[in-house]
């Protein structure tokens, strides 16, 4: 389906950078998927590659205060230019069956003018595409043209409220106006820098936690097509950054900040209309808990109520607090609710130990020998109810690689929600956290196992000491073991699993990740899903910033 068929339209001879070299080359234009005008050669594995590149727009200059000594690791530096595209040299063997495009979204530009953003989540969105076909790999990246990004470029300053940043007001009247815009949602960012999903009808949408930050992109060119406008009257300002998207439905949660609770909504393929399945009222706290993600089973939606709750007072502050727009309310306790997809009825609502999680991994229904539902199992990347993980994601902390072990511990937290009417559920480690270095986040699974009992998860773990997850990890829930891939000095992004066509084994496929390497470099990595051994890599023309979440678009 997707082909990343970008073209250079300039008729002037322009300097370019080949994907395999730092040396400039000259090019008059053309399509990287059209007839090749570059010489071809074979690498050490016998794979034919083409040295291709397209025109580069002006490089975005870094701010004067940009980290002068941290070009060794590109993960936490702004993208060097707005766009690039070309074919990469492959070392190793990419399976011939791997045909499609891996899209990855994430914050990629952390400055505007001379001003440096402070938090990982603040950066303007950079979309990266890796197109696999016939054992070859083409790469491209683009800035997502959100209103927030375009306004910042035009005015050379921050114009919308990002995760931890707010535009500076000149006087009291402008401050009052900013507050009014905040309550109406006008000043909230549409910087869709968190995830990217392919809807069942083929549309590809980039997302963040503001509802206005839903942006449709072209998966072939990575161009921004426009806003994804919801046609219903549900309103609201925020939603879960991670909806559940399948071939038949789109499910998400809408937190209600005024009457604390969550609406569970569904959107049918081919429509922009969300319909309410049901509502969950909060059992504790002054506001709903943060719902960055949530899991589902075959028949139920699992709604977490975390003690890390939205806080309007913190949102109004000009300078960020350690918990940003949230507040920790341990006295409010933690809860998990189970809603029937078909009826919208709440079939279980249990108190659980305090927890902090960004990302749920999967959930499934546990039944006895007679098929009766006994429990819901829900797995997540859980930070031992430690809220400091939020502040550890300040860019200053990530850029300060001192060799000390400062990454907060994390585990695969397994919730057991009894379905016998019990008021309490369990939360415990699904396996020894030392198996994955007591680091766990950015998980993916075989999508065929969504909502079903599963064996494997692919995530980012830790080899300590570190200040950020630095390994790729395959978790085996049956054996309660983990395999870890590690490249010293590098930062891998979320691993994405792609199953081999016709496979029956859950881990028969490949795992794709993008690596920010040392010395300002980076590369695409392909691991065998079963052995978790490297089978191919392809060097980028320069290191890319760290990315968050992605999706796979198969080529038909």
pLDDT surpasses 80 at 380 = yes
The radius of gyration computed from the CA coordinates of the chain, to the nearest angstrom, equals 23
φ, ψ of residue 470 in degrees (nearest 5):
-135, 10
Domain range for 101: 74-554
In a domain, 492, yes or no: yes
Closest CA to 111 of 529, 399, 431: 399
The per-residue pLDDT for range 182-211, each reduced to its tens digit, is: 656 777 999 999 999 999 999 999 999 999
Q: Report the relative pairing of strands 195-198 and 136-143 from DSSP bridges.
A: unpaired
Cβ proximity of 25 and 37 under 8 Å: no
549 in a known ligand binding site: yes
d(CA 353, CA 440): 19
In a domain, 36, yes or no: no
Closest CA to 316 of 210, 208, 115, 166: 166
Distances (CA, A) of 39 to 48, 49, 51, 144: 11, 9, 7, 32
Query: Which band of pLDDT confidence, cut at 50, 70 and 90, is reported for residue 60?
Result: low
pLDDT surpasses 70 at 16 = no
In a domain, 471, yes or no: yes
pLDDT surpasses 80 at 175 = no
d(CA 98, CA 76): 30
242 in a known ligand binding site: yes
CB atoms closer than 10 angstroms to residue 447:
15
In a domain, 43, yes or no: no
Query: Which band of pLDDT confidence, cut at 50, 70 and 90, is reported for residue 320?
Result: confident
In a domain, 13, yes or no: no
**pTM for this entry:** 0.89
CB atoms closer than 10 angstroms to residue 4:
21
Query: Which band of pLDDT confidence, cut at 50, 70 and 90, is reported for residue 354?
Result: very high
d(CA 371, CA 551): 34
Into how many domains does the chain fold? 1
d(CA 340, CA 301): 6
- What dihedral do alpha carbons 390, 394, 395, 400 form, nearest 10°? -100
Give me the CATH number covering residue 285.
Answer: 2.130.10.10
What is the arithmetic mean of pLDDT over 500-522?
Answer: 96
The per-residue pLDDT for range 263-284, each reduced to its tens digit, is: 999 999 999 999 999 999 999 8
pLDDT surpasses 70 at 39 = no
In a domain, 65, yes or no: no
> Residue 38 has what pLDDT?
31
d(CA 489, CA 537): 17
Question: Which residues are CB-contacts of 392 (< 8 A; sequence separation ≥ 6)?
Answer: 406, 407, 408, 467
H/E stretch holding 14 reads strand 14-17
359 in a known ligand binding site: yes
In a domain, 18, yes or no: no
Closest CA to 450 of 551, 352, 554: 551
Query: Which band of pLDDT confidence, cut at 50, 70 and 90, is reported for residue 179?
Result: low
3-class SS string, 239-283: CCCCCEECCCCEEEEEEECCCCEEEEEEECCCCCCEEEEEEEECC
φ, ψ of residue 487 in degrees (nearest 5):
-125, 110
In a domain, 108, yes or no: yes
299 in a known ligand binding site: no
Is the CA virtual torsion 259, 262, 263, 267 positive or negative?
Answer: positive
d(CA 550, CA 99): 16
Average pLDDT, the chain: 87
Distances (CA, A) of 73 to 68, 121, 214, 283: 11, 18, 30, 44
């Amino acid at each position: 389906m997707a082909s990343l068929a970008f073209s250079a339209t300039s008729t002037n001879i322009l300097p370019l950078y080949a994907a395999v070299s730092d040396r400039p080359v000259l090019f008059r234009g053309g399509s990287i998927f059209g007839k090749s005008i570059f010489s071809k050669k074979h690498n050490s594995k016998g794979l034919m590659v083409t040295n291709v590149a397209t025109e580069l727009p002006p490089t975005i200059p870094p701010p004067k205060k940009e980290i002068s000594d941290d070009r060794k690791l590109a993960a936490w530096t702004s993208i060097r230019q707005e766009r690039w595209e070309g074919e990469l040299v492959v070392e190793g063997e990419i399976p011939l069956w791997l045909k499609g495009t891996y899209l990855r979204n994430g914050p990629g530009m952390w400055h505007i003018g001379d001003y440096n953003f402070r938090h990982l989540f603040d950066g303007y969105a950079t979309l990266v595409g890796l197109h696999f076909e016939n054992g070859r790999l083409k790469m491209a990246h683009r800035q997502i043209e959100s209103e927030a990004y375009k306004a910042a470029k035009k005015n050379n300053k921050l114009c919308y409220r990002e995760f931890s940043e707010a535009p500076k007001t000149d006087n009291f009247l402008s401050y009052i106006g900013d507050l009014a815009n905040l309550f109406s949602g006008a000043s909230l960012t549409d910087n869709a820098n968190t995830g990217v999903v392919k809807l069942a009808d083929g549309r590809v949408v980039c997302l963040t936690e503001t509802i206005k930050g839903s942006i449709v992109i072209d998966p072939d060119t990575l161009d921004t097509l426009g806003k994804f406008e919801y046609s219903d009257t549900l309103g609201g300002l925020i939603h879960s950054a991670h909806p559940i998207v399948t071939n038949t439905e789109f499910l998400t949660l809408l937190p209600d900040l005024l009457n604390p609770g969550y609406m569970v909504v569904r959107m049918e393929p081919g429509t922009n209309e969300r319909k309410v399945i049901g509502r969950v009222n909060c059992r504790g706290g002054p506001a709903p808990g943060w719902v960055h993600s949530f899991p589902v089973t075959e028949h139920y939606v699992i709604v977490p109520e975390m003690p890390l709750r939205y806080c309007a007072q913190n949102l109004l502050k000009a300078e960020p607090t350690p918990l940003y727009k949230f507040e920790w309310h341990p006295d409010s306790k933690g809860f998990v609710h189970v809603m029937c997809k078909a009826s919208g009825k709440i079939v279980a609502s249990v108190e659980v130990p305090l927890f902090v999680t960004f990302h749920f991994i999967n959930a499934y229904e546990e039944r006895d020998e007679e098929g009766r539902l006994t429990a819901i199992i829900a797995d997540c990347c859980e930070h031992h109810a430690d809220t400091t993980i939020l502040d550890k994601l300040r860019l200053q902390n990530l850029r300060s690689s001192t060799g000390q072990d400062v990454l907060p511990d994390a585990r695969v937290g397994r919730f057991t929600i009894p379905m016998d009417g019990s008021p309490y559920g369990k939360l415990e480690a699904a396996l020894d956290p030392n198996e994955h270095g007591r680091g766990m986040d950015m998980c993916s699974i075989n999508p065929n196992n969504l909502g079903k009992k599963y064996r494997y998860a692919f995530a980012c773990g830790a080899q300590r000491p570190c200040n950020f997850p630095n390994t790729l990890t395959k978790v085996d829930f049956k054996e309660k073991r983990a395999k870890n891939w590690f490249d010293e000095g590098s930062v891998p992004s979320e691993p994405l699993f792609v199953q081999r066509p016709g496979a029956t084994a859950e881990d028969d496929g490949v795992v794709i990740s993008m690596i920010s390497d040392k010395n300002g470099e980076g590369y695409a990595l392909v691991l065998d899903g079963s052995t978790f051994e490297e089978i191919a890599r392809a060097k980028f023309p320069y290191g890319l910033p760290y990315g968050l979440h992605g999706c796979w678009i198969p080529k038909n």
